[in-house]
Amino acid sequence: MIDFLSLNEGDTVYFFRNSIDEFLISKNNNNSSLVSSKIDKCSILVPEEISNIISDKKQEMIFTLDKKSCSIRVQEDNWKSNNILYFEKYYEPKRLYKHNTLKEPLKLGEVGQCRFCKKKLGEVTFDKKAHAVSQLLGNNFLLSNDECDVCNQLFSNYESELGHYLHFWRSAALLDGKRGVPKFKEDTFKMGKSKTGKLLIKEQIDKESKLQFDEENKAITITGIQKSYIPHSVYKALVKMAISFVEEEELHLYSETIEWLLDSTNTIRPNSRLIMWEQFISHPNPYPEPEILQFTRLEENESSVYNRIFIIAFSNYVFQIYIPLCSLDKRIEFSKVQFLAFPSNYTAILPLNRISIDLKDFSDTERKRGEKISIEYSYDEKIEINPSNLNTSDSEFS
């Protein structure tokens, strides 16, 4: 038996399946006690009595484990075709926004009235350069004409929380934002961009290293503590981006959504969980510029799926959310709603183990602290260099 949840040969384990088709595993029959800190992904042989319950599944399956909630989802080779069929059945795709298809920055909306607070020029100003997609995701080409300075300032608070959530990754991936690449610091460990544009890591050698080398598989794992963030505000930052792309004639469908966005005190709460599919593509910079895709529900499916899906791909991530509080979603029974991940274009060319997919909940309004995070790099060759031979610019942060 594999070393999973600290299991020993002969141990009894319990499998659970929750309302959103997550598979949960525990050493006792109370799934609230799930604990693991060892394995992110593993292949296990599902016992026959379990495979009988999980019909139409192969016995050999890949599970993805969220270390905090220990939610486990089956990843199968055919999930891509199943999910594509789901989108074909329930949704109509909207325009795809890609940087390389634009000759110059695209300005959405018209100056004169803010699409969020509805105030007009004269009541508010439109002097700031408002971005439809946050600059910290690498966007410099999708702008908003119809976002006033007051709303822009409020939304910058949500973007700060999104920046905190992505801080570790942006430092490791050298993802430029409005203020450049952030530097990640933890105790004596520092990571960020060197003056020559390379990834630079510094740590004190007499401290426990945050770098783990796997010589056999030629991999380096960097671990750290996630910068504190407010999940609810992270989701608001993404929803604000989604609303920026909603057609003017459909904006009235999201009046309650906008009211929620403008509520900085979180008094207004959506009547459904704020869930997001997060895909990580293990490939060299698959999305150097952000790409945007939206889906709207076909009319005949109004009681089973969310009305609008917003997907943004950037760097190595693909985030997929739904827009909450849509007036057309009031008939939905949220405990039974279907919300599947749209396969990125890289699922067609990369093996399954190069793409991780997690369903995350951002409903909490309390600040999250102390969450562990890690990233793994592969390498071809490890070369020892005498520090005295290093270029000074290579050893200094930008």
Per domain, the residue ranges of the chain are: 14-76, 81-96+229-377, 108-227
Instruction: With a cut of 50, say whether residue 333 has pLDDT above it.
Output: yes
- Structure tokens, 107: 């300005």
3-class state of residue 335 by DSSP:
helix
Residue 91: phi and psi, rounded to 5, are -130, 160
Residue-wise pLDDT for 156-194, tens only, equals 999 999 999 999 888 888 887 777 788 888 887 888 888
Cβ(146)–Cβ(184) below 8 Å: no
Residue-wise pLDDT for 308-324, tens only, equals 999 999 998 999 999 99
Pseudo-torsion of CA 62, 65, 70, 75, nearest 10°?
-40
10 Cβ contact partners less than 8 Å away, ≥ 6 residues apart:
none
Residue-wise pLDDT for 42-74, tens only, equals 444 444 444 444 444 333 344 444 444 444 444
Among candidates 12, 78, 7, which has minimal Cα distance to 47? 12
CB atoms within 10 A of CB 116: 23
Instruction: With a cut of 70, say whether residue 352 has pLDDT above it.
Output: yes
Among candidates 198, 161, 162, 159, which has minimal Cα distance to 181? 198
> What is the pairing mode between strands 142-144 and 106-108?
parallel
Look at 78-82, 143-147, 247-251 and tell me which has the smallest mean pLDDT: 78-82
Residue 11: phi and psi, rounded to 5, are -65, 145
Cβ(196)–Cβ(120) below 8 Å: no
Look at 66-80, 107-121, 129-143 and tell me which has the smallest mean pLDDT: 66-80
pLDDT at 368: 95
Among candidates 180, 233, 240, 145, which has minimal Cα distance to 397? 180
- Structure tokens, 362: 């951002």
What is the C-alpha separation between 316 and 173, in angstroms, rounded? 9
Give the containing element (helix H, strand E) for 238.
helix 231-244
- Structure tokens, 95: 């325009």
Instruction: With a cut of 70, say whether residue 242 has pLDDT above it.
Output: yes
CB atoms within 10 A of CB 344: 22
Higher pLDDT, 4 or 381: 381
Give the pLDDT band of residue 14 (cuts 50, 70, 90): low
pTM metric for this prediction: 0.77
Residue 372: phi and psi, rounded to 5, are -80, 145
Q: Which amino acid is at 83?
A: N
109: left (phi over 0), alpha (psi -120 to 50) or beta: left
Average pLDDT of the chain? 79
